C-alpha cells in the first residue's frame, strides 16, 4: 500500500515501522500534531480512554478524532483512523461505514473543523453529526457505494 510513496522517495522504509520519529503536517490544516515524543504517551492514553468508554458511538467519534489529532504515523493516519472508526462501529453493532467519494470534501471539512476548534472551543459537533449521518444511512439499509473492482 505504501510502496509507491517509498519508491518516489516520499517515505523511507523506516517510516513505516512504529510511531513516527519526527514532525508531521496535515495538508490544508492549521493543526500541528503533537511532537513525536508526545505520541508515545498519547497513544497509550487513547487506548485507556477507549477501553473505559462503554458507549460505542462515543468511542467512534472520540477514537477517530483523537487518533487523527495525535497523527501517530508518517503516513496513513486518515486511512487507519477510518479503519479504527469502523472497528469501533462494529463493536457496537453498527454497520461498517465508508466515506463515499462524493462526501469526501464534507468529511474533510468536518475533520478539519474538529482539529482546529477542539483544542480552543472543545467543538467537534460537525464531525459527530457527519459520522452520525453516514451511520444512519447505513442503518436504513441504503446500499453502500460501489467500490470499483481491479478485475
Domain ranges across the chain: 19-139
Eight-state DSSP code of residue 73: S
Confidence (pTM): 0.80
Mean pLDDT value of segment 119-131: 82
pLDDT digits (tens, 9 = 90+) for 87-115: 999 999 999 998 999 999 998 888 888 88
pLDDT of residue 85: 93
Of 146, 127, 60, residue with least CA distance to 95: 60
pLDDT in tens, 43-72: 999 999 999 999 999 999 999 999 999 999
Going by pLDDT thresholds of 50, 70 and 90, the confidence category of residue 30 is confident
CA distance 111 to 100: 15
- For 140, the grid coordinates are 436504513
> Residue 99 and residue 58: Cα distance in Å, rounded?
18
DSSP 3-state of 52 = helix
User: Catalytic residue positions?
Assistant: 71
Rg, Å, the chain Cα set? 16
pLDDT band at 142 (very low <50, low <70, confident <90, very high): low
DSSP H or E stretch at residue 64: helix 56-70
What CATH number is given for 19-139 in this structure?
1.10.3290.10
Amino acid at each position: 500500500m505504501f510502496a509507491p510513496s517509498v519508491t518516489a522517495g516520499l517515505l523511507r522504509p523506516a517510516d513505516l515501522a512504529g510511531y513516527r520519529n519526527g514532525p508531521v503536517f496535515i495538508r490544508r490544516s492549521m493543526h500541528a500534531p503533537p511532537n513525536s515524543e508526545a505520541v508515545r504517551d498519547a497513544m497509550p492514553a487513547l487506548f485507556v480512554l477507549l477501553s473505559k468508554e462503554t458507549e460505542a458511538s462515543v468511542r467512534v467519534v472520540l477514537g477517530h478524532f483523537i487518533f487523527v489529532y495525535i497523527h501517530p504515523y508518517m503516513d496513513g493516519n486518515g486511512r487507519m483512523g477510518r479503519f479504527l472508526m469502523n472497528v469501533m462501529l462494529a463493536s457496537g453493532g453498527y454497520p461498517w461505514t465508508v466515506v463515499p467519494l462524493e462526501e469526501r470534501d464534507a468529511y474533510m471539512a468536518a475533520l478539519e473543523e474538529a482539529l482546529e476548534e477542539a483544542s480552543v472551543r472543545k467543538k467537534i459537533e460537525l464531525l459527530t453529526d457527519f459520522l452520525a449521518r453516514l451511520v444512519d444511512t447505513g442503518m436504513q439499509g441504503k446500499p453502500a457505494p460501489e467500490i470499483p473492482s481491479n478485475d
